């Protein structure tokens, strides 16, 4: 097997010379130990560790994953003398030694493999990283076991020994290797790795002993050592970090965007082939800028910021009439060069954009239209203000429904006859205001611009005056201000309206002042009343809000009993949210427990 391994390495060696950067080769030097029937421990014994050496080739599928072809030669040994002095094995004194030749294929994982390429997939950076592997292989074993008997002379050999001697001859077995290691990159091309792995073979005869030992437990062995690894095909003549095999300019230091060649503007077109080496451009435009990416370099593009076509020197042509949009008077409709890119569908020499009759061939003198008379009333459409409605009663060709001498188009009141001075509208009340502008068209009045009377002469016409027979204020919609003594009644009501504690039941003393409030409302019939309930902050907020609403409602109900129209009264409660004094003192809380009465004119 060892000879086969060496021959295989010699066959692969020529490929190394032409291999890509993904390949590595390595030499292995270490030790091997076994665990089986001649080992009292669960791990290989140091005194039974024997030399192991070999080599491998590794191919990287990605920076983190690779597979490896591995060949190794090692020796395994063991002895009953490794057992304690009191153990019966020492009197048996069996021992073995075997030569192992192994060839395997493993799948390797470097969890930090990408850290070797922090800048570019072409530039390798030395790192220290762990790796793990597992695979499948074959191994050849030639156990030489000393059973302390002479099979040619002795006649009374125990059957278990005879069975072991018979089954322990040279065998080839599949093995399952798995393990891990730690890589130390010495340079971009050289790596040192510490590696250890276990090998499991489906056999209990690695040491030649089974029936005379423990046939229920399989033997295994481990290999650990140092790997010297060389990355293949990594020559970098110009030292720019790109190996010669992928460097487009292996003798000239370059950058990634230039594939290893100089690329001053970083546009991916190497300087030697870049028509604009100092300006970032595109490959299609020879390395020169092409802002609109239409294939025309900006210096030759008539519209460098808008993608275009060859026929328009790089400018867009939305209507495909071969006239650039910037020169096309009708860029969205295909047209003719002599009309600036605009069409002339009726071929009358007037472009459609200037032709009122683009589908009817006419004369240039009539703006491209024929001389039609659509409504057949004797006036051609050119002079007919109502070309769709026939009329022969006037020179405009339009109807005059109310026969007031003003055609309906110009008549503000086409259904009612009126003088020209009022644009055809009547003035029914004869006050000098046409009916559309007169808010009282049936009542003559010239004292204001509305044409309506103002009986109380307070500056608000009766239509808008809530108190049309009593002069008042504009702010009160024409009603008078409350007298001071009446305002005083509302202030007293805030203080004198009282309820049973914690309830909305009016105290009898409150009814007198409420009767006075009712009298006020009768005295000011245009006014409306707003009842607002309030509490102090004692108790829960929700309870206080509900109580304030109920108290305002109690006042409302009382006023209804005094024949006040419900439409004139609104009521609401605000709880403790609008205090007028501090709730920290008894006096303040008394002021806050109140019902306010606001009497005012509302829209």
Contacts 24+ apart (CB under 8 A), 478-483: 479/524, 479/526, 479/527, 479/601, 482/520, 482/524, 482/527, 482/599
Task: Please report how the helices 541-561 and 510-523 are oriented relative to each other, as an axis angle in degrees rounded to 10.
Answer: 60
- pLDDT for position 240: 61
- pLDDT for position 16: 38
C-alpha angle 370-374-380 in degrees, rounded to nearest 5: 60
- pLDDT for position 526: 86
| Every domain range in the chain assigned CATH 3.30.1330.60 | 484-600
Could you tell me if 385 and 409 are in contact, meaning their C-beta atoms sit under 8 angstroms apart?
yes
- pLDDT for position 242: 67
| Every domain range in the chain assigned CATH 2.40.160.20 | 2-231
| Ranges in the chain, pLDDT < 50 | 1-20
Structure tokens belonging to residue 572: 């609401």
- pLDDT for position 15: 39
Task: List 192's β-bridge partners, or say none.
Answer: 184, 228
Q: Rounded distance, CA 497 to CA 536, Å?
A: 15
Q: What is the CA radius of gyration of the chain?
A: 56
Task: List 595's β-bridge partners, or say none.
Answer: 533
The class that CATH gives domain 2-231 is: mainly beta
Structure tokens belonging to residue 538: 């004692």
Could you tell me if 410 and 424 are in contact, meaning their C-beta atoms sit under 8 angstroms apart?
yes
Structure tokens belonging to residue 297: 């370099």
Q: Rounded distance, CA 134 to CA 179, Å?
A: 7
CATH, domain 484-600, list 3.40.50.1980, 3.40.640.10, 3.40.50.720, 3.30.1330.60: 3.30.1330.60
Structure tokens belonging to residue 533: 């309930």
Burial 357-385 (b: 16+ CB within 10 A, else e): bbeebbeeeeebbeeebebebebbbeebb
- For 270-420, strand residue ranges (E) read none
The stretches of 441-540 forming alpha helices (DSSP H) are 484-496, 510-523
- pLDDT for position 131: 96
Sheet of 528-534, strands arranged across? 569-573, 528-534, 594-600
Q: Which residue has the tokens 């792995």?
A: 197
Bin 385: left if φ > 0, else alpha if -120 < ψ < 50, else beta: alpha
Could you tell me if 296 and 282 are in contact, meaning their C-beta atoms sit under 8 angstroms apart?
no
Tell which residue, 258, 260, 256, 255, has the closest CA to residue 235.
260
Q: Rounded distance, CA 302 to CA 159, Å?
A: 101
């Amino acid at each position: 097997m060892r000879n086969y391994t060496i021959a295989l390495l010699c066959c692969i060696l020529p490929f190394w010379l032409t291999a890509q950067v993904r390949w590595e080769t390595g030499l292995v030097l270490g030790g091997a130990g076994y665990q089986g029937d001649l080992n009292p421990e669960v791990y290989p014994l140091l005194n039974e560790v024997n030399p192991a050496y070999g080599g491998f080739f590794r191919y990287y599928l990605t920076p983190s994953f690779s597979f490896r072809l591995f060949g190794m030669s090692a020796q395994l040994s063991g002895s009953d003398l490794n057992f304690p002095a009191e153990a019966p094995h020492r009197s048996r004194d069996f021992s073995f030694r075997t030569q192992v030749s192994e060839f395997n294929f493993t799948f390797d994982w470097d969890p930090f493999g990408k850290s070797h390429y922090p800048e570019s997939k072409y530039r390798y950076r030395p790192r220290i990283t762990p790796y793990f592997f597992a695979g499948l292989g074959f191994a050849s074993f030639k156990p030489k076991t000393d059973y302390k008997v002479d099979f040619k002379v002795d006649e009374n050999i125990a059957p278990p020994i005879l069975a072991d001697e018979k089954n322990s001859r040279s065998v080839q077995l599949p093995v399952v290797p798995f393990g891990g290691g730690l890589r130390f990159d010495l340079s971009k091309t050289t790596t040192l790795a510490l590696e250890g792995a276990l090998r499991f073979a489906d056999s209990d005869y690695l040491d030649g002993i089974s029936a005379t030992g423990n046939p229920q437990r399989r033997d295994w062995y481990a290999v650990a050592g140092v790997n010297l690894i060389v990355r293949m095909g990594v020559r970098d003549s110009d030292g720019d970090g790109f190996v010669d095999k992928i460097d487009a300019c292996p003798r000239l230091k370059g950058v990634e965007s230039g594939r290893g060649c100089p690329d001053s503007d970083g546009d991916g077109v190497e300087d030697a082939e870049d028509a604009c080496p100092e300006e970032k451009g595109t490959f299609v435009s020879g390395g020169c800028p092409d802002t609109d990416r239409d294939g025309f370099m900006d210096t030759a593009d008539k519209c460098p910021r808008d993608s275009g076509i060859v026929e328009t020197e790089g400018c867009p042509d939305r209507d495909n009439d071969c006239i650039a949009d910037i020169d096309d008077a009708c860029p969205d409709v295909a047209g003719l060069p002599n009309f600036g890119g605009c069409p002339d569908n009726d071929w009358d020499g007037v472009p459609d954009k200037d032709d009122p009759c683009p589908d009817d061939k006419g004369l240039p003198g009539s703006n491209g239209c024929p001389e039609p008379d659509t409504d057949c009333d004797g006036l051609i459409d050119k002079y007919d203000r109502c070309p769709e409605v026939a009329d022969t009663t006037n020179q405009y060709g339009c109807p005059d429904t109310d026969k007031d001498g003003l055609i309906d188009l110009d008549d503000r009141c086409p259904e009612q006859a009126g003088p020209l001075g009022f644009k055809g509208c009547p003035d029914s009340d004869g006050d000098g205001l046409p009916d559309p502008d007169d808010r009282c068209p049936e009542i003559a009045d010239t004292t204001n611009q509305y044409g309506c009377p103002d009986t109380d002469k307070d500056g608000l016409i009766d239509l808008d005056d809530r108190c049309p027979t009593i002069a008042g204020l504009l702010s009160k919609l024409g009603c008078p201000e409350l007298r001071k003594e009446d305002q005083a009644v509302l202030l007293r009501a805030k203080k004198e309206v009282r309820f049973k504690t914690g309830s909305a039941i009016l105290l009898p003393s409150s009814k007198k002042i409420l009767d006075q409030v009712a009298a006020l409302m009768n005295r000011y019939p245009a006014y409306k009343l707003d009842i607002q309930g309030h509490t102090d902050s004692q108790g829960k907020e929700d309870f206080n809000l509900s109580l304030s609403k109920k108290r305002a409602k109690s006042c409302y109900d009382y006023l209804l009993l005094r024949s006040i129209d419900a439409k004139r009264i609104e009521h609401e409660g605000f709880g403790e949210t609008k205090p007028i004094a501090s709730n920290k003192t008894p006096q303040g809380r008394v002021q806050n427990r109140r019902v306010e009465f606001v009497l005012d004119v509302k829209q």
